[in-house]
Amino acid sequence: MLYDFGNFSIMKLSNPASIYELIMMALELPESEWNETNGPKEEMARFVAEFLPTKSEMLQDLFSMQIDKNGNLLTIPYLLEDYVPSFEGLPSYLLRLSSNVNWEEEEECFDTICIETSRFYAFPKYSFESSDDDSEDAIDIDGELTIKDTQVCEKTNDAEPSGTAQSWKFTVEHLLFPAFRIGFQPSSENATNGNILQIADLPELYKVFERC
């Protein structure tokens, strides 16, 4: 995200998504850690639905995330060509943007938004389990709002959702690794502490083959 910061492409939702309804969905999930001491879910969802639009100008300018005046999410950043994240994680993503981002300190604000956006784009755990049922890829709110990975954005209508059990291996091989080869630059610490290891060096291997 650092390479394209402030210059992300746009992934446009096929239909505006109500932030209030998405937050209500997120609060139903165990990972939200909601309990009665936090107050009514409706009040929390209303707060987030009113709060995020106040940051819409910055979110649109720097992260290509457009929110309309009615509290609907219209677009999200498009981080990698042909890669479609699992939209099951969209409700939790918006909830974390409201709770896990430090909106008071500029540098930490940008850093935490990047972290939460990266979490949203990461493969969900179920991606690595074999399954013939893709019904979990849909989000349906009161029979009205439906978000499905294969239909959610205009830019990638023909793409298979990158977070499904059928596609994650293909995605890693043909989308992620080529992107790593072009733009991945580990920090000096990670490059020397053993977290990242060089397995092969093709130019050196070619030299070996030439000698054979």
pLDDT of residue 149: 41
- pTM confidence score: 0.70
Per-residue DSSP letter, 89: G
Question: 138-141 and 145-148: which strand pairing?
Answer: antiparallel
Structural tokens at position 149? 């990975």
The 10s digit of each residue's pLDDT in 110-134 is 999 999 999 999 887 765 565 444 4
First vs last C-alpha separation in the chain: 43
More confident residue, 21 or 2: 21
DSSP structure string for 138-204: EEEETTTEEEETTTSBSTTTTPPPTTSTTTHHHHIIIIIHHHHHHH----HHHHHSSSS-----HHH
